[in-house]
Amino acid sequence: MLSLQDNMTLLLTGLSQGCAYGLIALGFVLIYKATEVVNFAHGEFMMLGAFAAVTFSSLFGFWIGLVCAALAVGVVGYLLDAVVMRRIIGQSQASVFILTVAFGFIFRSIAGMIWGWDLLALNTPFSGSLDIASVSVRADRLAIILVTAIMCVGLYFFFARSRVGVAMQAASQNQLAAYYMAIPVKKLVSVVWAIGAIIAALAGIFNAPFTQVDTQIGALGLKALAGAVIGGFGSIPGALLGCLLIGVAEPFADYFLPAIKGVSAYILMLAVLFIKPEGLIVQTFQKKV
């Protein structure tokens, strides 16, 4: 039987991991809402962000390195849409699926050739731990929770208050009408890809102290995808809720049911889909193209 302190430790650990999944899922949902494309290479944006941060932080320090790494991955996301994905608009979903999976393999191979195949460490300023309600919590876990909260608030104000954000919402709901309103739909879609890539890169950077950095950490994107499906794919609050549920459930499932370690997220996804196939939070509108 776990003590109250042990339960709180597992809970806070799960919240931090759920926030890491949530940052990745934000990018999944943003890209899907804008293009109806599920980018199966999105986890590799996270991986590239962590690798880039290792290089840039060694040159410029952590904070400047973080900004440089996030922007570099944002450029990759922008170019991926502008140069490749834009050219296959109208093709079958199977073609899009195969293409994004292929880019995942390509990104992993490029990362391995540049940084090698061994585990790398990313030094962050979040050392030590803090005591919260007599529970010792690592500072880097609190950091990722704080970053997720800041990103959610920032995205809310960006989409609700800025002209670019409002234009992105208009384009995601009805691209043809947005085009006739002189909104540069193609550029905005590429910017959405860039924003999604930047958010994924931040997830990789702040998650690096737990996972280390190697070419396989992009697999966390599959758990983020499961969280987005649980919450209701296409709903940003739903994606965050689903990822938090997975993050909180995982450490308890790993402790009490070690036989399902690593797959509890997908079991939870199947259970939710059996009960509510559309996810926990349903979109309030249908996308029009």
DSSP structure class, residue 89: T
Sign of the CA dihedral with 9 first, then 12, 15, and 21 last:
negative
pLDDT at 9 (0 to 100): 82
Paired tokens of 126: 């979040």
The structure's pTM equals 0.89
Alpha helices in the chain (DSSP H): 4-35, 42-60, 62-79, 93-115, 139-161, 163-173, 175-180, 185-211, 220-231, 236-256, 264-275
* Domain boundaries of the chain, sorted by first residue: 13-215
pLDDT at 183 (0 to 100): 76
Q: CA-based angle 11:14:15, to the nearest 5?
A: 85
Quote the mean pLDDT of the chain: 86
285 pLDDT higher than 50 = no
Exposed e or buried b for every residue in 232-259, given b needs 16+ CB within 10 A?
bbbbbebbbbbbbbbbbbbbbbbeeeee
pLDDT band at residue 105 using 50, 70 and 90 as cut-offs: very high
